[in-house]
Amino acid sequence: MKPFSPSTALLHLSRRRTAGMVLAMSSTLLTACGGLTIRADAGPGPTSRNTPPKVTAAAAPTPPRAVTDPAVDGLQLARLMRDQGRYEGASEIYAQLEQRGSLKPLELLEYASVAANFQSPQDSLALYGRARRALRESGVSVTSDATATLCNGLGRARMALGQRDAALNDFDCTLAVAPDNVVALNAKGVLRDAQGAHDQARALLQHANEVDPADLRVVNNLALSHLAAGDAAQAEQLLSQATQNRQTPLWASLQLNLAFAQWLQGQEARSSRSLSALMDDGQIRQALADFTQRRERIQGGSPVATELLAASRRWLPLREKAQP
């Protein structure tokens, strides 16, 4: 969910999995912090049998020297697992702490940001909503970073659920306290593109690109914004530059979008060559047939943005090893 950033990648990618092993992290680690252990202090040492014990006024009991707080231990364990990328295991611990009433409002927000890496948008929206209510009821001071985390989390969940207007409000909430927040700029740019406000979308995405030129999700969305506005040549230029590094996890998506931008310009041979880095001959024919139908609809008056949105919901197969 990698901190999550909304993307309008042209086509979803499917890839056959090679044989491998998945390591499941055991949740039984919770038993390590399930008990409360108090070590009692030793009493006074033995007195001499010839000397009566000295009588003194009763002293206040000495507090235990070592007390294990299960909430503190649980939170530390959850954060350790989070930092190791074990989000589901960490979320199980956060969930138990919440059920016990052991999470402070900012820790509940922390839980929501971890769980958002794998849970459904509907569940994320509910969890971020609980964090927002807890923060409001507590009256604690919330930093700009925490506000951005909360508003971006709500916005991403609503965006995934198709609640575009509400999502825009959430990303505006972030930008009000953090005008250079790349996640919010990128997401709002995607949403404004979907509404047909391509000039505003490109301004937002260009701003995000200036803040973080290395974020290829932003470059991809900026290219698609140009494509949606009818400037396929500019889209091709951006995507050609972005696909130079084949090691990036987004390379296949960028390459596929590059092929579509070339096809829209009538560059069939170049588009086919771009696809050949991803697909075998049969898959290329399938992809080009899909491209042709979309280009014909665009030429017939269908908005490019509409075709991009429809394409983002269609799966095209890739050969098992798309990258050399």
- Tell me if 112 is assigned to some domain: yes
- The answer to whether residue 20 is domain-embedded is no
230 and 303 both lie in a single domain: yes
Would residue 15 count as lying in a domain? no
Residue 274: per-residue pLDDT: 95
Per-residue model confidence (pLDDT) at position 140: 87
Q: How confident is the model at residue 44, as a pLDDT?
A: 38
Cα gap 67→115, rounded to integer Å: 30
Same domain for 321 and 245: yes
Residue 27 and residue 92 in contact, taking contact as beta carbons nearer than 8 Å? yes
CA–CA separation, 133 vs 103, rounded Å? 13
Shared-domain flag, residues 221 and 135: no
Does 31 fall in a domain?
A: no
pLDDT value at residue 68: 59
The SS3 of residue 295 is helix
Count of structural domains within the chain? 2
pLDDT of residue 21: 25
Q: Which are the contacts of 114, defined by CB distance < 8 A and separation ≥ 6?
A: 78, 82, 87, 90, 91, 94
Q: Whole domain around residue 160: which residue ranges?
A: 68-179
The predicted pLDDT at position 188 comes to: 97
Whose CA is closest to 207, among 255, 233, 175?
175
- pLDDT for 35 equals 26
Predicted pLDDT at 302: 87
* pTM reported for the whole predicted model: 0.75
Alpha-carbon span 244 to 167, nearest angstrom: 33
> Are residues 224 and 171 part of one domain?
no
Of 153, 179, 205, which residue is a domain's last?
179
Q: Burial code of 159-180, b = ≥16 C-beta within 10 A, e = fewer?
A: bbeebeeebbebbebbbebbee
Residues 229 and 301 in one domain: yes
307 in the same domain as 225: yes
Of 162, 179, 196, the last residue of a domain is 179
Do 230 and 295 have their domain in common? yes
Residues 171, 262 within the same domain? no
Q: Is residue 29 part of a domain?
A: no
Flag whether 167 is in a domain: yes
Backbone angles phi, psi at 12, to 5 degrees: -70, 150
Do 324 and 220 share a structural domain? yes
Q: What are the tokens at 284? A: 């290329």
Is 34 a member of any domain?
A: no
Compute the half-sphere exposure of residue 312: CA atoms within 13 Å on the CB side of its CA: 18
Question: Would you say residue 114 lies in a domain?
Answer: yes
Residues written for the chain? 324
Measured CA to CA, the distance from residue 154 to residue 150 in angstroms comes to 6
- Distance in angstroms (rounded) separating the CA atoms of residues 202 and 221: 9
Residues 173, 251 within the same domain:
no
Choose one of 119, 152, 179: the last residue of a domain: 179
Same structural domain, 170 and 251: no
The burial of 80, by beta-carbon neighbours within 10 Å (0-12 exposed, 13-18 middle, 19 or more buried), is given as middle
Q: Residue 104 sits in a domain of what CATH number?
A: 1.25.40.10
Show pLDDT as tens, one digit a residue, over the chain (324 residues): 333 333 344 443 333 333 222 222 222 222 223 222 222 333 334 333 333 444 444 455 555 544 457 788 999 999 999 999 999 999 999 999 999 999 999 999 999 999 999 999 999 999 999 999 999 999 988 999 999 999 999 999 999 999 999 999 999 999 999 999 999 999 999 999 988 899 999 999 999 999 999 999 999 999 999 998 889 999 999 999 999 999 999 999 999 999 999 999 999 999 999 999 999 999 999 999 999 999 999 889 888 887 887 777 667 676 654 444
Cα dihedral sign, 174-234-265-278:
negative
176 within 8 A of 155, measured Cβ to Cβ = no
Shared domain check, 162 and 87: yes
Greatest Cα pair distance in the chain: 111
